[in-house]
Amino acid sequence: MREDQRQPLPLGRSDFAALRQSEALYIDKTELIFDLCREPRKIFMSRPRRFGKSLLVSTFKSLFEDGVRDFPGLAIEGLWNDRIYPVVRLDFSGLKSQLTINEFREALNSLILSAFSPLGFHYDANNPSILFIDQFKAWLNTQKTNSFVLLIDEYDAPLTDHLDDSEFFDRVRNVMGEFYAAIKQYEGVLRFFFMTGITRFSNTSIFSAFNNLDDISFDPDYGTLLGITEEELESYFDDYLKDAEAALSLSRVELLKELRSHYDGFSFDSEAETHVFCPWSVLNFLNKPKRGFQNYWYGSGGQASVLLNYLKGHELSSPDAFNKPLSITMDELESSRSYQDISLNALLMQAGYLTIKSKLNMAEVELGYPNKEVELSMARLYADELLRNVNRLDIGISTLARMLDMESAEAVVDHFNRVLNALDYQRYPIRDESSCRSHVQVLLMGGAMLPDVEKHSALGRSDLEVRTSHRVWVFEFKFARETSEVEDLLKEAADQIKTQRYGITPHGKELLRVALVFDSENRQFAARLV
């Protein structure tokens, strides 16, 4: 099919009616949408950024406001027979930058007034003795049962913007809680309620207030509601996949394998039976396949403010924990948390850095990185955290790949030491052999490389191997508590590389094998090229 005859990609589209009118590609999820809203319900759903939450909210708005006008040819067209309703949509993402709590309260009140005034709510500023929220409740009290639909997008944006300030966080939470408490008191007026965001914070009144708020965030029935399944990818984007095959000289099998490796693997299913591709990453790839499998995550969804603001006042776990399996109870993932009880792993899951990999037992699941793109983004986050007070450009993280491809082993090791000397050693010390490897692994991945850790060979497992365009590097690590141990450990590591024949496989590239011993007294690597 000619390019000008194909349906446009829905890249960056969050307005359902406009998307349909432009005849852009739309993956039909409307059977699931019908299941959600055919009866009066109050629903919460969390997902990371760039997964289409706002488009879903817009879809609900179109359905309730205009019926099936924008749904021709979709599954729900033959299922929906409800009347139309007034729809109130509140997007809290615009409430993130207020400087004082009074400014926040005024901005929130203004947003509520603007959204509800078409339904007849008016604030009497000439009667200041009656607070805004009390006037709002009085108006709600006049509304009929099932009279309108309320949709809230990015409900947690005002909270996540202040994860580095517990006092202001609590003040914002209390102000928002007044609004949610009002909605709770008169919840009978709602035909349908849907709220979405990234995190689930307790004490905002909304989770405790609604006795029947249905959290579908990890419901297996809706695990594929947002995101793209492999079946949908092949069905809806076949022409674009053919273009990618031609652009990269790959077969369909090879292309899908690479796409899975880079962009698939997100599971929002407590049973770990379903998984989806990140829509933002896949659509960006299909839009410009000649660029190859780029990291689209870190520049958009991967820099979620919820996580970045959290890290201003907290620390990541040690690099030793990078790529280690993690178990967590579903109760910890599903339960709402206060500011003081926020779990880093639950936050990483909600932000999209971790995902459900498997179900361990009735209570626990295993978390891990969904794909290479996110793993590299996590390493970038770790590298930025290790070098919190250092400019990445100054320290040369971004030049590591070029150095490994072109420079001598001595120059590369000198660069490792220069980077290590810039670390906050008190916060992230190197304690043992495993810690040596973890620090180097994180720094390499922060430079957009994907090293193999403990790579198997016929005779053993090398500590770390990394490939560049023209070279294969093999690193074997040892840890010396005292400088006097360094020479003996260098010999031991070099002998191990030789006897175990690390890296001796057909690859057609220059092979460099290096014994690295971390001198704990001098806090630097000593090296020997094998």
Mean pLDDT of 164-171: 84
Q: Report pLDDT for 12.
A: 86
Claim to verify: residue 233 and residue 360 sit in the same structural domain: yes
Among the three residues 386, 421, 439, which one is the final residue of a domain in this structure?
386
User: Rounded to 10 degrees, what is the CA torsion of 153, 157, 159, 163?
Assistant: 150
For the cut 70, the answer to whether the pLDDT of residue 311 exceeds it is no
Claim to verify: residue 55 and residue 186 sit in the same structural domain: yes
For the cut 80, the answer to whether the pLDDT of residue 184 exceeds it is yes
Claim to verify: residue 198 and residue 280 sit in the same structural domain: no
**83-92, 338-347, 403-412: lowest mean pLDDT where?**
338-347
Residue 452 lies in a domain: yes
> Between the ranges 36-50, 310-324, 390-404, 457-471, where is the mean pLDDT highest?
36-50
| CA distance readout (Å), 246 to 239, 251, 290, 502 | 11, 8, 9, 36
Claim to verify: residue 43 and residue 179 sit in the same structural domain: yes
d(CA 285, CA 395): 30
* 3 state SS for 50-73: CCCHHHHHHHHHHHHHHCCCCCCC
**272-281, 404-413, 431-440: lowest mean pLDDT where?**
431-440
Q: What is the largest distance, in Å, between two alpha-carbon atoms of the chain?
A: 87
- How does 161-193 read in b/e, with b if 16+ C-beta sit within 10 Å? bbbeeeebbbbbbebbbbbbbbbbebbebbbbb
Contact assessment for residue 237 and residue 279, using Cβ atoms and an 8 Å cutoff: no
**40-49, 72-81, 217-226, 342-351: lowest mean pLDDT where?**
342-351
Claim to verify: residue 480 and residue 516 sit in the same structural domain: yes
Banded pLDDT at 320 (limits 50, 70, 90): low
Claim to verify: residue 318 and residue 412 sit in the same structural domain: no
d(CA 277, CA 266): 6
Banded pLDDT at 128 (limits 50, 70, 90): confident
**24-33, 180-189, 271-280, 457-466: lowest mean pLDDT where?**
457-466
d(CA 324, CA 339): 26
Claim to verify: residue 197 and residue 245 sit in the same structural domain: no
Among the three residues 217, 247, 272, which one is the final residue of a domain in this structure?
217
Q: Which CATH number does the domain housing residue 203 bear?
A: 3.40.50
Task: Give alpha helix (H) positions in 288-327.
Answer: 305-313
For the cut 80, the answer to whether the pLDDT of residue 473 exceeds it is yes
Contact assessment for residue 274 and residue 227, using Cβ atoms and an 8 Å cutoff: no
Beta bridge partners of 452: 465
Banded pLDDT at 399 (limits 50, 70, 90): confident
Neighbours of 435 (CB within 10 A): 18
Q: Which CATH number does the domain housing residue 488 bear?
A: 3.40.1350
Banded pLDDT at 427 (limits 50, 70, 90): confident
User: End-to-end alpha-carbon separation of the chain, Å?
Assistant: 55
| CA distance readout (Å), 233 to 7, 288, 352, 370 | 14, 16, 20, 17
For the cut 70, the answer to whether the pLDDT of residue 514 exceeds it is yes
Contact assessment for residue 475 and residue 512, using Cβ atoms and an 8 Å cutoff: no
Residue 222 lies in a domain: no
- Structural domain of residue 433, as residue ranges? 389-529
pLDDT digits (tens, 9 = 90+) for 189-247: 999 999 999 887 755 556 665 667 899 999 999 999 999 999 999 999 999 999 999 99
Claim to verify: residue 245 and residue 337 sit in the same structural domain: yes
∠ CA 36-42-46 to the nearest 5 degrees? 80
Among the three residues 361, 386, 411, which one is the final residue of a domain in this structure?
386
Q: What is the CA radius of gyration of the chain?
A: 27
Claim to verify: residue 356 and residue 321 sit in the same structural domain: yes
Claim to verify: residue 37 and residue 142 sit in the same structural domain: yes
Residues 6+ apart with CB under 8 A from 224: 29, 32, 274, 276
Residue 173 lies in a domain: yes
Claim to verify: residue 150 and residue 200 sit in the same structural domain: yes
d(CA 297, CA 288): 15
Claim to verify: residue 122 and residue 255 sit in the same structural domain: no
The tally of domains found in the chain comes to 3
Q: Report pLDDT for 198.
A: 87
